[in-house]
Structure 1
């Protein structure tokens, strides 16, 4: 008997949501399958139909977020005048803030930041090379620096009580980038 895809997706989401409610308050090694299934209203065997363990839930959640980043159209990642995807990244971060603020925060998964950078860096590099930047070690390190700064500032923004609006943040980052890192990237063109 085939399962209804909508019910299957909802069950997976319910288990993920139950996991997440624990993950935002406790370390992953302290989360049990028993408490996830109890909170979600399922039994352990249902959990194991979707996940192997709590680390698998986290990995699938992270993979879903990264796939959303990779699904962004290339033109959204970069405009001809600005090779750094400030607005697109801020919007993506804002749309998924309930997860990203935690995953990239003090109690999140340290490997997740590396995975985010690894997924977007090649797209940015390709765009910059097409726009005339010289491919090499300087571009690679500049992109690493820029992405680390962007992820850091977005994490900081989400943890501030009196944070500026998304439009003000995008404008500020645009100014900082054009005067600093992006100016450097643009100087790499030949």
Structure 2
């Protein structure tokens, strides 16, 4: 790695480390340089200000995540297949999109952990991630033959939040204290498979609504 690239990498590393104690946009160039032991002139060789530094970090991450998704084999949506074909056509194996997300988080552990932090991270970056994740979650659901009904938007939002929650907890935990990538992916996939199963049962079981009805004493909650 060239010396300039080493310097940039060090600036990014120190900056992300400072976000553990302070919101990213409250960190000054002066504070960053003092922590790193460089002059402000050195910083300005590579970045215009803290906002430019953050933008370059985020652009690199977004570009990498999109590239990882683009490398996945193209799968044509199944469309809404007949309920009687559910057992034969539904693929319950974990989608590769889930592996892409957690491999990405692992490879950029410090940056992702800092930027997803609910207190000191960047909400705008989270919004950009939500757009990308929503696109690929909807692709999974299209491939699964799930209907584009009123529940899909809500399911997608919840599923995205689970992506973030799992990533935050996993990245901030010691390896022996939390689940493996495979175990986390299996948990998320269980929710996806459960949604597919219930959607099928809703279309095929005459007593579905009766079985899903809440007890009368819970309706007032």
TM over 0.5: yes
2:69–2:100 CA contact under 8 A, matched in 1: no
The structure whose Rg is larger is 2
Q: 1:22 Cα deviation (Å)?
A: 1.5
Query: Pick from 117, 120, 131: which aligns with 1:118?
Result: 131
- RMSD of aligned residue pairs (Cα, Å): 3.3
Which residue does the alignment assign to 2:191? 176
Q: 1:72 Cα deviation (Å)?
A: 0.5
Query: Pick from 150, 164, 168: which aligns with 1:155?
Result: 168
Query: Pick from 53, 57, 61: which aligns with 1:61?
Result: 57
* Match status 1:38 vs 2:34: yes
Decide whether aligned partners of structure 1 residues 127 and 168 sit closer, same or farther in structure 2, where only a CA change above 3 A counts: closer
Return the alpha-carbon distance in structure 1 between the equivalents of residues 199 and 117 of structure 2. 28
Q: Map Cα deviations across residues 126-167 of structure 1 (whole Å, 9 max, x no partner).
A: 565477556676544433332222212222333345211222
Return the alpha-carbon distance in structure 2 between the equivalents of residues 106 and 124 of structure 1. 23
Decide whether aligned partners of structure 1 residues 137 and 7 sit closer, same or farther in structure 2, where only a CA change above 3 A counts: farther
Q: 1:169 Cα deviation (Å)?
A: 1.7
Which residue does the alignment assign to 1:103? 115
Return the alpha-carbon distance in structure 1 between the equivalents of residues 20 and 146 of structure 2. 41
Q: 1:173 Cα deviation (Å)?
A: 2.1
1:97–1:158 CA contact under 8 A, matched in 2: yes
Larger CA deviation: 64-73 vs 154-163: 154-163
Q: 1:177 Cα deviation (Å)?
A: 2.2
Mind listing any 5+ residue stretches in structure 2 that lack a counterpart?
77-90, 202-221
Decide whether aligned partners of structure 1 residues 74 and 183 sit closer, same or farther in structure 2, where only a CA change above 3 A counts: farther
Alignment of 1:139-150 (within 5 A): 139-150=152-163
1:18–1:37 CA contact under 8 A, matched in 2: no
Return the alpha-carbon distance in structure 2 between the equivalents of residues 65 and 183 of structure 1. 35
Return the alpha-carbon distance in structure 1 between the equivalents of residues 98 and 110 of structure 2. 19
Return the alpha-carbon distance in structure 1 between the equivalents of residues 200 and 156 of structure 2. 12
Q: 1:79 Cα deviation (Å)?
A: 7.1
Decide whether aligned partners of structure 1 residues 8 and 83 sit closer, same or farther in structure 2, where only a CA change above 3 A counts: same
2:97–2:136 CA contact under 8 A, matched in 1: no
Decide whether aligned partners of structure 1 residues 34 and 185 sit closer, same or farther in structure 2, where only a CA change above 3 A counts: farther
1:77–1:85 CA contact under 8 A, matched in 2: no
* Match status 1:11 vs 2:26: no
TM-score (norm 1): 0.75
Alignment: residue pair count: 182
